[in-house]
Chains A and B, each alone.
Chain A
Amino acid sequence: MIRSTGRGLWPLLLFLSFLILPLEGARASSLEQARGLVRSDKTSDGKAWLKLMHFRPTLFGAESDIDGEKFFLSPRGKTSPEAELQATLTAFFDPQAMASKEEDSALCRFPARQRFLRERFPQITWPGRECGLLQRYRQAVSGPSVSLVFSSFYLNNPSSAFGHTFLRVNKVPAQSDGRRYELLDYGFNYAADPDTDNAFVYGVKGLFGGFKGTFTSVPYYYKVREYNNHESRDLWQYELSLTPAQVSMLVDHLWELGSSYADYWYMTENCSFHILTALEAAAPDLEIVAKLKKFVLPADTVHAVVETPGLVKTVTYRPSLRTQLFARFDALSATEQNAVLKIVNDRDLAPLNEIAALERQSAVLDAAVDLIDYRFPYEIQLPEEKITQFKNRVLSRRGDNPTISTPLDIPLPVEEEPHRGHGSRRWGLGGRKVREGRESLLFSYRFALHDFYDPKPGFPDSAQITMFEGNFSWTEKIRRLELEQLTLFEVISRSPWRRLTPDYSWSMKVAGEREPWDEKPATTVMNLQLGGGWTLANASDSLSLFGGLKGGLKNDLQGRFDHFRVTAGPALGVRARISPRFVTGAEGWWRRERRREDKDFREISATVQWQFARDWGLRASAKDAFGAQSGELMLFGYY
């Protein structure tokens, strides 16, 4: 009975299977066809796939820079591009994926992989499905071109001192009036998600990959408010020559990355690095990442992008609030300028009455509001603050004044374009002669970034940022390389004091130094220095004079704390920039050092640097320190 029943059902089952199998069979054969084609094409070894997976060669083969598990469909995906490609094919052809929720469907999670495979193998019948959220995202952010945006150096925050880069997808002009509304574009950012507010822990974790870094989409207006307005940093926008198809690929790829993360390394795999790998995933023929140095500084990636032939179409600039404020203020008469300062300093609108014309009043009010925003970037966000309430009165007065402001026209400052800057790293080779003393060869290396005598283009004018600089000497008599100075970190800010922006100057330094350098035996001293004062400068900042106090703590590097000593005294500095590439100046520090008894020292130096090419400079200096005079000549190469 059983057998006959079974026999009786077979024809029915066969019949039913003919109804179902054509679909299943087609899928299976498409998957098999895809596997075969992909294998014979060696797709998984190809540049395009490897870049899409963020693979880079390592000591043991290759590995993806992405660390989030969600980025991989195969458990071996992080190390095997082949396994990941096979898993991707399986997932794309998985019949269940068609009916599953959007979030669970590989077709919706990996649109860039899909786009890549469809283009490469048009002969395959690829499955497709609706992805509502992805579709909405594409509509909201897509555009025909993309820009790399560089946010300039920000001294007030160590993690931004080297600048920052992110991407902006540029939308098509508005249908209504054919204009571009950049603020409505979307930006794409890669940043660490810090999970600590302890500065030390932050530093360590940031340097050693302890944070997860994620890609986020951010409305461009938010980035503008953050950088231009809140932090008063200029934004530089490099429009790239990616094709519209490549930009679509990029938008899809950022979607894939968004749900994952890559461990954040402050010096290597940082914002600028991952922005470029994402770019190369969408345009695999670009070779920028491979040319980067081990340590990636944002300004260097701008150089790399600009130096890639044909990649940059246009450079545009978005002036910071500070720049806008100066543009408004400088356009006023002396009386009007005084009124602006009085209004803001005394928080009183009365000075406005001294100005007759309504139009001039509006110009004064416009500058006053910018000045309040610049001076109180935090407070003005809090409604209960007194300054916010005063500002509202100013705005209310401005609202009553019928004049419509004329848009500011601030020309792009060509000399400040970041890509015109010298390379971040610097090596130096030269010699020194001590008066009636020995002659030495000098070697120098600086990891980053810029000092007062380096050429101006592309860098903040009144700041020095040094990170890891080593200076060594070699003297015939001693016949070995001696450490002169090892600076771990030094920041000097000499933003000039002006009526509008009464900034003070400050400095900070952590260094090991040999002193006195021509006495034997030389001692290496750990040096911690702090300074403060004021700088006066002419309008163009080409001539400046600093005066202030500098003090520090020193300790011999011999583990004995009785060698601990304090030093302090007045400091002076003068600098004249004769041209952007020819800078001269002098520094002096008169200090008293407390050891067993007090002792006075004087350190004076004069320096001149001539930059004869963007990345080549000659520096001559004369020094009087520890009772000996010496002269130095150095050749610097920047890269």
Chain B
Amino acid sequence: MKSILFSLVTLFAGSAMAAAYGDSGCGLGAMVMGSEKGLKQVLASTTNGTSGSQTFGITTGTSNCTEGGIFKSAEQVPAYIELNKIALAKEAARGEGETLAGLSQLMGCETVVFGKTVKANYNTIFVESKMEATEIRNRIQSATHNVCGA
């Protein structure tokens, strides 16, 4: 049975946070899961989010980041970084982990090399906690471009 408060992909369009997301215009905002403190925020975002507006295909509950139920290809990596931010930073500092491996795969890199390189550059990639996903991606790209080929 689905939890009401904790379970929705709560990415909301039109908020200040969404605007901060960058120039892609995609409504992927900073995402906060759960907790009573987040209750109002989460509900607010769900009520103007998904319900009943879908006319075709399937939805992820994300606003205009997706098309027909999946992330637009340009949004795949930023969305992955945004939604996995906490686990990703942790695994980047450790140099190993499934989330890091998933990102490596999405960015077309070899897992072990990618993990080592991101770890070695941890403190130049994750410089502050209020970073946008695209910023993190850019920093990872510039740290790994020598080892990742593409």
Question: Which A residues contact B (CB, under 8 angstroms)?
Answer: 70, 102-103, 109, 133-134, 136-137, 140-141, 154, 157, 159-160, 162-164, 174, 176-177, 179, 181-184, 186, 189-195, 197, 202, 212, 214-219, 221-222, 225-226, 229-231, 254-255, 257-259, 261, 266, 270-272, 298, 362, 365-366, 369-370, 373, 377-378, 380-384, 388-389, 392, 395-396, 398-400, 402-407
- Considering only residues 121-150 of chain B, those with a C-beta below 8 Å from chain A are 122-123, 126, 128-130
Q: Which of B47, B70, B111 contacts A141 (CB 8 A)?
A: B70
| Chain A residues whose C-beta falls within 8 Å of the C-beta of B68 in the assembled complex | 133-134, 136-137
Given contact pairs A193-B52, A271-B1, A137 touches B32 in the complex (Cβ within 8 A): no
23 pairs of residues in contact across A and B, judged by CB atoms under 8 Å: A140-B70, A141-B69, A162-B1, A179-B111, A181-B101, A181-B105, A182-B98, A192-B4, A216-B69, A218-B9, A226-B7, A226-B34, A255-B57, A259-B55, A259-B56, A377-B33, A381-B86, A392-B126, A396-B123, A398-B93, A399-B119, A399-B126, A405-B97
CB <8 Å contact, B83 and A212: no
CB <8 Å contact, B110 and A392: no
CB <8 Å contact, A194 and B4: yes
Q: Which of B35, B93, B96, B110 contacts A407 (CB 8 A)?
A: B96
A232 to B8, CA, bound (A): 16
CB of B61 within 8 Å of the partner chain: yes
CB <8 Å contact, A404 and B93: no
A231 to B4, CA, bound (A): 13
Size class of the B contact interface (CB-based, 8 Å): 35 or more
Q: Which of B6, B39, B56, B122 contacts A197 (CB 8 A)?
A: B39
Q: How far is the CB of B142 from chain A (nearest CB, A)?
A: 17
Question: Which B residues contact A (CB, under 8 angstroms)?
Answer: 1-9, 31-35, 37-40, 43, 46-47, 50-52, 54-61, 67-71, 79-80, 83-84, 86-87, 89-90, 92-99, 101-102, 105-106, 108, 110-111, 115-116, 119-120, 122-123, 126, 128-130
Q: Which of A174, A192, A219, A230 contacts B105 (CB 8 A)?
A: A174
CB <8 Å contact, A395 and B105: no
CB <8 Å contact, B123 and A400: yes
Given contact pairs A399-B123, A404-B119, A405-B94, A222 touches B3 in the complex (Cβ within 8 A): no
**CB closest residue in chain B, given A229:** B87
Q: How far is the CB of B147 from chain A (nearest CB, A)?
A: 14
CB <8 Å contact, B33 and A184: no
Given contact pairs A133-B68, A195-B51, A226-B7, A216 touches B33 in the complex (Cβ within 8 A): no
| Chain B residues whose C-beta falls within 8 Å of the C-beta of A157 in the assembled complex | 3, 5-6
CB <8 Å contact, A404 and B96: yes
A259 to B68, CA, bound (A): 10
CB <8 Å contact, B70 and A221: no
| Chain B residues whose C-beta falls within 8 Å of the C-beta of A383 in the assembled complex | 128-130
Q: How far is the CB of B53 from chain A (nearest CB, A)?
A: 10
A297 to B40, CA, bound (A): 28
Q: How far is the CB of A176 from chain B (nearest CB, A)?
A: 7
A189 to B79, CA, bound (A): 19
CB <8 Å contact, B102 and A70: no
The 8 residue pairs across chains A and B that have the minimum distance between CB atoms: A258-B58, A399-B122, A378-B35, A191-B2, A383-B129, A133-B68, A404-B95, A405-B94
| Chain A residues whose C-beta falls within 8 Å of the C-beta of B80 in the assembled complex | 219, 221
A140 to B3, CA, bound (A): 26
| Chain B residues whose C-beta falls within 8 Å of the C-beta of A396 in the assembled complex | 93, 122-123, 126
A272 to B89, CA, bound (A): 34
CB <8 Å contact, B1 and A225: no
CB <8 Å contact, B56 and A159: no
| Chain A residues whose C-beta falls within 8 Å of the C-beta of B40 in the assembled complex | 197
Q: How far is the CB of A389 from chain B (nearest CB, A)?
A: 7
CB <8 Å contact, A189 and B129: no
Query: Which of A212, A221, A380 has the largest number of chain B CB atoms within 10 A?
Result: A221
CB <8 Å contact, B70 and A271: no
Q: How far is the CB of B122 from chain A (nearest CB, A)?
A: 3
CB <8 Å contact, B70 and A216: no
Q: Which of A229, A259, A378, A382 contacts B57 (CB 8 A)?
A: A259
* A-B contact sample (19 more), CB < 8 A, given A229-B87, A230-B34: A70-B55, A134-B57, A159-B4, A189-B2, A194-B43, A212-B51, A214-B50, A214-B52, A222-B9, A226-B34, A382-B32, A395-B93, A399-B123, A400-B122, A402-B120, A404-B94, A404-B96, A405-B97, A406-B96
A621 to B45, CA, bound (A): 51
CB <8 Å contact, B35 and A258: no
Given contact pairs A195-B47, A197-B43, A258 touches B129 in the complex (Cβ within 8 A): no
